[in-house]
Structure 1
Amino acid sequence: MGLAIKPPPGTPGKAWPAIVVGFFVAFGGVLFGYDTGTIGGILAMPYWLETFTTTGVINPATGLPTLTASQSAEIVSLLSAGTFFGALTASPACDMLGRRMGLMAAVGVFTIGVILQTASTAIPLFVAGRFVAGYGVGMISASIPLYQSETAPKWIRGTIVGSYQLAITIGLLLASVVDHATKDRQDTGSYRIPIAVQFAWAIILFSGMLMLPETPRYHIKSGHPEKAAKSLSRLRRLDADHPALVEELGEITANHEYELSLGKASYLDCFKGNLGKRLATGCLLQSLQQLTGVNFIFYCEHFEPFEGYLRPSPTRPPIALRRN
C-alpha cells in the first residue's frame, strides 16, 4: 500500500497548488535548523578558534585556544534571544505588511545577520550577527505556520504545518554535512563557507515568496474581498464564482467577523480561559521536547576534544594550560 495525498471524495478543484505552496514555504525551517546546527561545528574549528579566541587559555586535549564558558554560552544563546523578540514581532509585522511581505521582511533581517557573521573576525560582531539572524529566524518561525494555515485546505492543514518541523531537521543535517566538509580548511573559508551557505537558503525562500499569493484571510482582514477571491481561486484552481470557493470564502469572512465581534484582543488574552489552557499545553509540549536535552548532540564537536579529560586521574587531571 503506497503513501498518497488524496483529498476527501467530492472535494472540488485541485489540492496540489496549495499543498505545493505550503510545503515550499516550510523550506524556511531549513534556515532555522541550519543556523542552529552549524554553530556547534564552527566553535570547534581550529581556524575559527585561532582567529576569534583571545583568552590565552589552551585546551590540553587539542593544543588549541579555547573559549571561556561565558563566551561560548553568549555565542550560542544570543540566537535564541533574538528568536524570542523576533517571534513577538512577527504577528504585528504580518498584520501590517501582510503574511507574504512579513515573511519576506523576516528573510531580509535574517540575511543581515548572516552578513554580519560572515564579515566578522572578532566575537563582538559575530554575536551581534547571531542576534540579528536569530531575530529574523524568530519572525520566520512564527510567520511560516501562519501563512501555511491560511493557505492550506482544511483536510491537510495539519500535515502541511507540521512539515515545517521536518524542514528544521533537514537544516540540521545540512549544517552537519557542510561543517564537516570545511572544518579542516586553514583559512577563513572554514567558518565563512558554512555561514555564507545560508544566503542560498534565504535567496530560495525570498525568490519563491515573490511568486506566491497573499493569503485570502489577510485580504479579507484588510478589506479586499475581491483580492481574497482571486488568491483563493489561484490556490484551489477554481473560478472565483464557483460555489465551493464562494462557500469557503464565506467561512473565512464569517470567522473574521466573529473575531471582530469579540472586541480588540491583546497578548494578555492568550493567558485567559480556554486560550490559556491551549497556550499552556503548547508551551509544555515544546518545553518537554527541549528538556530532554536532545540539543546537546548539536554541540558534540565542541565537547568531543575533552573526552578523557572529564574524568580526573592521577596522571591526567582535568586542567587547562595558559599561554605564557
Structure 2
Amino acid sequence: MGKVYNIFLAIFCAIGSFLFGYDSGIISSIITFSAFKSFVNDPGNYDSLSGAVVSTFTGGCFFGAATAGWTNDKLGRIRTVQLGVSISLWGCAMQAGANNFATMLIGRIVAGFAIGVLSMTVPLYNTEIAPPKNRGFVVGLTQQMLGIGFIVANWVGYGCQFLNGNTQWRLPLGLQLAPAFLLLVGSPFMPQSPRWLLEHGRDEEAREVVYRLHGSDAATRDEADAEFAEMQETIKAEMLVRSRSLSDLWATRGMLRRTFVAVGVQVFGQFSGINVLNYFGPSMYRALGLSAGQSLLVQGIYGAVGPITNFFFITLLLDTVGRKKPLLFGAGSFVVTYSCLTAIVASFPPDQSTNLAAQRAGIAMIFLTSIFFSLSFGPVSWVLASEVFPTRTRSIGTSVATCANWAFNVLFSQVSNIAIVNISWKYYVVFIVLNAVDFVIMALFFPETKGKTLEQMAEVFGDEVDAHGVLESSAAHEKFDHENLDSAKV
C-alpha cells in the first residue's frame, strides 16, 4: 500500500511537470499558426519574435527555479508548489487573453516563472518521499508527466489548426488553466517532505509521514522506523555543522563534486538538443520538405514516442542499470543521430532536393533522438540532480542545477529558429561536438548512485558526515557546559 501511495503522490505532484511539457509542446504548434502570425503582425521579424515567445518563457523559468531554492527551504515543498501553480494560473490567463504582443510576452514570463518553480520543486519533493530502491522510477515520473503533457499539447495543436481566428491559439493556451487549478486544489492533501519537517524540528510529524509512505502493516513499520532513525540522525548532524549558504555548494571537495554532477547532468541534457526539437520541431520538418499541416501531424506522432519509451525505461530498467550507463549511452547515441541528420540535410538540401527517402531518414533521426533521450537524460537528469545533495543543501543545490538547465534552454530557444533558417545543417554540428565532450566528462567524473539512500550519498562523494561523532561531540559539549554551570553555582 505504501508503494501505491508513493506513486500516487509522485504522479499528482508531477502535474507541475505536465504543465511544463504542455507548454513546450503547444508553443511549437502555436508559432506555426497563421492566426498567431497575424496577431504578431510583423512578418519581417517573425523568426526573431517567435524565438522571443519561447525564450521569454524559459527566461522566466530561470528566475522561478532560482527563487524556489529559497521558498522550498522557508515554506516547504507543498507551499512552494501552491505558489507555483497560483502564479501559473495568472500567467496562463494573461497569455490566453492577450490583446497585444507585449501582454503575451509578459504572460509568457509570468508563466515561465511558475514553471521554473515547479520544475525544481517536483523532482525535489519526489526524491524526498521515494524509497531508495524505487527512487529512479518515482522521480522518473517527472519526465513521464512532462512527456504526457507534450503529447496532449501536440494533438491539441494539431486539432486547433483547423479553428478560425484567434481562437486557434487562445484555446490551447487557455487549456493550461485546468491542470494548474487541479494541482492547486489537491495540494493541501499532500504530506510535507519528512526531511523538511525534520530540518524544522517537527520530528513527530515527520515520523507520521514516513509511516504513511511505508504503509501500515507491522513489517513495513520496522522498515519505516529504521529509515526514520537514519534520516533523523543524519539531518540533525548536518544541521550542527552546515550553514544555509550558497557557498556550501563548493565548500568541500565532495560538495564541489556533487554540484558539478548535478549542474553537469542538467546542462548536458540541454546539449542533447531535445528542446530544439520540441520547440521548433515543425520548423525543422518544414526544412526537411514537409508542408505545415504535415509538420504538425509528424510532431504529434513524435510527441508520443518519447513518453512511451520513458515509461518502459523507468518501470523496467532505471533502478536496475543505474544512472551512469544510460547517460553514456545517450550522449554516444546523440553523436550518431546528429551526424546522420547533418549528412542528410547537407547532401539533400530541402529547397533543392525532392528525395523522399532522405526526408524520411531525417525524420527518423529526429525520432531516434527522442527515443534515446527518453532512455537517458530525460528521466536520469531529474533523478541525479536532486538525489546527490545532502538534505541541508538539497533545495538550494537542486535550484542551482535547474537554473543551469534553464539558462541553456534560454540560449537554445533564442538562437535555434534563426540558426535553422540561416545556416541549416551546420547548426547540428554544434550538438555533435557537445555530446562527444559530454561523453568523455561523464565517463571520467560521474559516479553511480543507484540504490543508495539520500543519507548514504555522502559515502559516494567522499564527504561523509559522521552523524554519530557529530551528535556525540555536541552532546559532550552540552554536558561540559552544564557541569561548568553547576560548578559555578556551587
Common fold by TM > 0.5:
yes
Q: Report the equivalent of 1:279.
A: 259
Q: Report the equivalent of 1:260.
A: 239
Alignment of 1:290 onto 2:256: no
Alignment of 1:213 onto 2:194: no
Task: Give the 3 Å change call, closer, same or farther, for CA 312–110 of structure 1 in structure 2.
Answer: same
Alignment of 1:203 onto 2:181: yes
Distance apart, 1:127 and its partner CA: 0.8
Alignment of 1:300 onto 2:281: yes
Deviating more after overlay: 79-88 vs 211-220: 211-220
SS of residue in 1 equivalent to 2:175: helix
Q: Report the equivalent of 2:102.
A: 124
Summarize deviations over 1:36-93 as a string: whole Å, max 9, x none. 111121111111111222x2x3xxxxxxxx6434322221101111111111111211
Distance apart, 1:263 and its partner CA: 2.5
Kept in 1, the 8 Å contact 2:91–2:110? The answer is yes
SS of residue in 1 equivalent to 2:176: helix
Q: Report the equivalent of 2:366.
A: none
Alignment of 1:222 onto 2:200: yes
Task: Give the 3 Å change call, closer, same or farther, for CA 269–41 of structure 1 in structure 2.
Answer: same
Q: Which amino acid aligns with 2:240?
A: S
Kept in 2, the 8 Å contact 1:86–1:134? The answer is yes
SS of residue in 2 equivalent to 1:47: helix
Which of 123, 126, 144 is the matching residue for 1:145? 123
Alignment of 1:96 onto 2:74: yes
Find the aligned partners of 1:310 and 1:279 in 2 and give their Cα distance: 43
Q: Report the equivalent of 1:77.
A: 55
Kept in 2, the 8 Å contact 1:79–1:133? The answer is yes
Find the aligned partners of 1:46 and 1:171 in 2 and give their Cα distance: 23
Find the aligned partners of 1:94 and 1:79 in 2 and give their Cα distance: 22
The structure 1 segments of at least 4 consecutive aligned residues displaced by more than 6 Å after TM superposition are 306-310
Kept in 2, the 8 Å contact 1:106–1:137? The answer is yes
Kept in 2, the 8 Å contact 1:239–1:245? The answer is no
Aligned residue pairs total: 293
Q: Report the equivalent of 1:6.
A: none
Structure (1/2) with the larger helix percentage: 2
Alignment of 1:171 onto 2:149: yes
Task: Give the 3 Å change call, closer, same or farther, for CA 223–292 of structure 1 in structure 2.
Answer: closer
Find the aligned partners of 2:119 and 2:235 in 1 and give their Cα distance: 23
Q: Report the equivalent of 2:5.
A: 17
Q: Report the equivalent of 2:33.
A: 45
Q: Report the equivalent of 1:184.
A: 162
Q: Report the equivalent of 1:269.
A: 248
Find the aligned partners of 1:218 and 1:285 in 2 and give their Cα distance: 25
SS of residue in 2 equivalent to 1:68: helix
Q: Report the equivalent of 1:28.
A: 16
Normalising by structure 1, report the TM-score: 0.82
Kept in 2, the 8 Å contact 1:45–1:184? The answer is no
Task: Give the 3 Å change call, closer, same or farther, for CA 229–36 of structure 1 in structure 2.
Answer: same
Alignment of 1:107 onto 2:85: yes
Deviating more after overlay: 231-240 vs 285-294: 231-240
Find the aligned partners of 1:275 and 1:263 in 2 and give their Cα distance: 12
Find the aligned partners of 1:67 and 1:201 in 2 and give their Cα distance: 33
Q: Which amino acid aligns with 1:33?
A: G
Find the aligned partners of 2:266 and 2:224 in 1 and give their Cα distance: 36
Distance apart, 1:237 and its partner CA: 2.3
Distance apart, 1:304 and its partner CA: 5.5
Find the aligned partners of 1:303 and 1:97 in 2 and give their Cα distance: 43
Kept in 1, the 8 Å contact 2:215–2:221? The answer is no
Deviating more after overlay: 262-271 vs 110-119: 262-271
Distance apart, 1:301 and its partner CA: 2.8
Find the aligned partners of 2:162 and 2:284 in 1 and give their Cα distance: 17
Alignment of 1:235 onto 2:213: yes
Distance apart, 1:149 and its partner CA: 1.5
SS of residue in 2 equivalent to 1:184: coil
Distance apart, 1:286 and its partner CA: 2.8
Task: Give the 3 Å change call, closer, same or farther, for CA 288–230 of structure 1 in structure 2.
Answer: closer
Is there any run of 5+ residues in structure 1 with no aligned partner, and where? 1-12, 58-65, 319-324
